[in-house]
């Protein structure tokens, strides 16, 4: 099993499922007060070009629970990419730390860190991929699914080019599940990525469906997943283009009912624009007349929503990644 984690496919199907088993065991150990530190004396650098709530907290608490120390380098906290090259930063950090987490923009940055650091590097999010989120997502699905992993069906509805949609497509195909992506044609996953997913599916038995028809994608889905319509770092003007495109893919009570299943669960990686209690939510309401954006509050706060369990699972899955890389 690779010690770095840069894309969802890095673990492979077997390694991914083993990581979920490890995470579930660590979650139970924390719940029962029987957790045993495996990272005592380890030092971990957290390098963030993009701000975060869940990713930072999950890495910090996971490390502390396991006895490790962390150093947080925020968007203005290092010379990375400005006064110092990625390769030089990697060599410096690799000489002082046992592992490095990176959350930022380009995938090429985290890959260059991994090439030069000499220690494990973990992708906490880039514009292309979000592998640690995938572990939390599938753990959450598994906790609400009684059958084999291959019998899971999920539908992502929204921007099919986003790092979440891309990651779900590849993860689902790798694991052999029923993957549906509902997105407008101009926001559909890039064709090379779809071909990669289809190649994986041919080996694992996954069912992959990309469509601009939400009703087709939703039918029979056990999980409905969406994400913000405009990501961090994208211009605010993108809202003007994406709101008309993506409103038909918004998750509402009608969307959930369209699965035809009373047990369908709702997933979101957070943060979510689901009401008008935030500055962004109020701005969207003023400009477009929407109370919330990608998901209606009636779904986000419903019994079908497992988003906060999903957020907590970031902790347990990231802890599993750290222990697998540094604790053995």
CATH code of residue 319? 3.40.50.1370
Task: Looking at the structure, tell me whether residues 179 and 242 fall in a common domain.
Answer: yes
Structure tokens at 107: 């995938």
Whether 39 is covered by a domain: the verdict is yes
Among the listed residues 13, 54, 116, 130, the single catalytic one is 130
Of 53-57, 74-78, 323-327, where does mean pLDDT reach its minimum? 74-78
The whole-number pLDDT of residue 75 equals 85
d(CA 56, CA 315): 10
Write the DSSP symbol of residue 33.
Answer: T
Task: Looking at the structure, tell me whether residues 161 and 299 fall in a common domain.
Answer: yes
Task: Looking at the structure, tell me whether residues 57 and 17 fall in a common domain.
Answer: yes
3-state helix, strand, coil in the chain (%, to 5): 50, 15, 35
The whole-number pLDDT of residue 2 equals 52
Task: Looking at the structure, tell me whether residues 159 and 299 fall in a common domain.
Answer: yes
Q: Does residue 227 have an active-site annotation? A: yes
Task: Looking at the structure, tell me whether residues 61 and 125 fall in a common domain.
Answer: yes
The arithmetic mean of pLDDT across residues 130-134, rounded, is 98
Beta bridge partners of 207: 178
Q: Does residue 316 have an active-site annotation? A: no
Among the listed residues 13, 22, 42, 103, the single catalytic one is 103
The whole-number pLDDT of residue 82 equals 77
Q: Does residue 57 have an active-site annotation? A: no
- Number of domains within the chain: 2
Task: Looking at the structure, tell me whether residues 320 and 300 fall in a common domain.
Answer: no
Whether 279 is covered by a domain: the verdict is yes
Whether 224 is covered by a domain: the verdict is yes
Whether 138 is covered by a domain: the verdict is no
* Whether the model pTM is above 0.95: yes
Task: Looking at the structure, tell me whether residues 320 and 198 fall in a common domain.
Answer: no
Task: Looking at the structure, tell me whether residues 173 and 273 fall in a common domain.
Answer: yes
Asked if the model's pLDDT at residue 155 lies above 80, the reply is yes
Structural domain span for residue 242 = 145-305
The arithmetic mean of pLDDT across residues 182-192, rounded, is 97
Band the pLDDT of 77: cuts 50, 70, 90.
confident
d(CA 237, CA 251): 22
Average pLDDT in the chain: 96
Band the pLDDT of 1: cuts 50, 70, 90.
very low
Whether 79 is covered by a domain: the verdict is yes
Among the listed residues 54, 133, 137, 265, the single catalytic one is 133
* pLDDT tens-digit map of 78-118: 878 778 999 999 999 999 999 999 999 999 999 999 999 99
Task: Looking at the structure, tell me whether residues 15 and 107 fall in a common domain.
Answer: yes
Whether 135 is covered by a domain: the verdict is no
Cα Rg for the chain, rounded, in angstroms? 19
Among the listed residues 269, 274, 275, 310, the single catalytic one is 269
* pLDDT tens-digit map of 32-57: 999 999 999 999 999 999 989 999 99
Whether 123 is covered by a domain: the verdict is yes
Whether 140 is covered by a domain: the verdict is no
CA of residue 147 relative to chain centroid, distance: 23
């Amino acid at each position: 099993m690779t010690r770095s984690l840069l894309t969802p496919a890095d673990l492979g199907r077997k390694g991914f499922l083993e990581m979920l088993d490890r995470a579930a065991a660590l979650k139970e150990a924390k719940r029962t007060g029987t957790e045993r530190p495996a990272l005592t004396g380890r030092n971990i650098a957290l390098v963030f070009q993009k701000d975060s709530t869940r990713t930072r907290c999950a890495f910090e608490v996971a490390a502390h629970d396991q006895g490790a120390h962390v150093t947080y380098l925020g968007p203005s906290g290092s010379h990375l990419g400005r006064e110092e090259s990625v390769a030089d930063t990697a060599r410096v950090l690799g000489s002082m730390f046992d592992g490095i987490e990176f959350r930022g923009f380009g995938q090429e940055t985290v890959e260059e860190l991994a090439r030069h650091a000499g220690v494990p590097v973990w992708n906490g999010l880039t514009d292309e991929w979000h592998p640690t989120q995938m572990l939390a997502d599938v753990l959450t699905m598994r906790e609400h699914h009684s059958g084999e992993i291959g019998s899971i069906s999920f539908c992502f509805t929204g921007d099919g080019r986003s790092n979440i949609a891309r990651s779900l497509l590849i993860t689902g195909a790798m694991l052999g599940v029923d993957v549906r992506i509902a997105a407008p044609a101009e926001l559909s996953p890039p064709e090379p990525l779809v071909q990669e997913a289809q190649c994986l599916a041919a080996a694992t038995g996954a069912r992959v469906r990309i469509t601009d028809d939400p009703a087709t994608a939703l039918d029979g889905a056990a999980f409905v997943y969406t994400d913000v319509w405009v990501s961090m770092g994208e211009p605010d003007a993108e809202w003007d283009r994406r709101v008309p495109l993506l409103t038909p893919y918004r998750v509402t009570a009608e969307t959930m009912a369209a699965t035809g299943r009373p047990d369908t669960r709702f997933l979101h990686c957070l943060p979510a624009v689901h009401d008008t209690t935030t500055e962004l939510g109020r701005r969207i309401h003023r400009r477009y007349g929407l109370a919330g954006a990608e998901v209606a509050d009636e779904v986000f706060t419903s019994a079908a929503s497992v988003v906060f369990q999903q957020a907590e699972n970031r902790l347990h899955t990231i802890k599993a990644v750290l222990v697998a890389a540094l604790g053995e």
